[in-house]
């Protein structure tokens, strides 16, 4: 698992983030199912723009159970570093990659034309005890992200 910061540094960019919101709430139906939570369970919601050299390259929305992260304002830089500091690190994740066309709101945030294709990465991160601890959806500009997969027999 490579963090956003590590990925961009490896590619020679200067990474940064701009917070759009950090708040508490209740999970959506999909979040409840994926994170194994009841509908009234408290979750932390984080939404931010991810930048490379001051250019928006991704829009990221994270949802974490309250028992994993109860104070949204405590995340100032790296979410994963904060979780490690709290003793609740994400140790493995399943990530699904698909393509979507940006609606007007997403296009404005990502600074791309409406309907432009973006990579949508949905990551379900797990704690050491096997419970889901993070659901993050990241919408990535295709001019900054690509993936290579090695297949072996």
Domain count for the chain: 1
* 99, 118 contact by CB (below 8 A): yes
Q: Is residue 109 situated within a structural domain?
A: yes
Span 79-111, pLDDT tens digits: 999 999 999 999 999 999 999 999 999 999 999
Quick check: is 152 in a domain? no
Give percent above pLDDT 90 in the chain: 80
Across the chain, the runs of DSSP E, i.e. the strands, are 15-25, 43-52, 55-65, 92-101, 117-126, 132-141
Quote the CA–CA distance of 37 and 52 in Å, as a whole number. 34
Q: What is the CA radius of gyration of the chain?
A: 15
In a domain, 148, yes or no: no
Supply the range of the domain harboring residue 21: 4-141
Terminal-to-terminal C-alpha distance of the chain: 23
Domain assignment of residue 108, yes or no: yes
Instruction: Dump pLDDT digits (tens) for 24-52.
Output: 999 999 999 999 999 999 999 999 999 99
CA dist., res. 153 & res. 35, Å (int)? 33
Return d(Cα 143, Cα 153) in angstroms, integer: 31
Q: What is the CATH number for 116?
A: 3.40.1410.10
Determine the Cα–Cα distance for residues 144 and 119; give it in Å rounded to an integer.
10
Residue at 146 is within a domain: no
Domain membership of residue 31 (yes or no) is yes
pTM listed for this prediction: 0.91
């Amino acid at each position: 698992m490579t963090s956003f910061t590590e990925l961009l540094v490896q590619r020679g960019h200067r990474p940064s983030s701009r917070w759009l919101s950090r708040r508490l709430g209740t999970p959506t139906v999909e979040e409840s199912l994926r994170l194994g939570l009841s509908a009234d369970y408290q979750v932390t919601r984080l939404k931010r723009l991810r930048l490379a050299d001051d250019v928006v390259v991704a829009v990221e929305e994270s949802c974490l159970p309250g028992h994993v992260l109860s104070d949204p304002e405590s995340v100032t830089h790296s979410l994963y570093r904060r979780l490690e500091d709290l003793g609740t690190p994400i140790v493995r994740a399943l990530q699904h990659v698909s393509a979507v066309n940006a609606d007007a709101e997403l296009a404005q945030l990502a600074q791309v034309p409406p309907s432009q294709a973006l990579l949508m990465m949905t990551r379900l991160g797990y704690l050491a005890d096997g419970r889901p601890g993070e659901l993050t959806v990241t919408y990535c500009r295709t001019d900054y992200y690509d993936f290579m997969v090695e297949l072996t027999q």
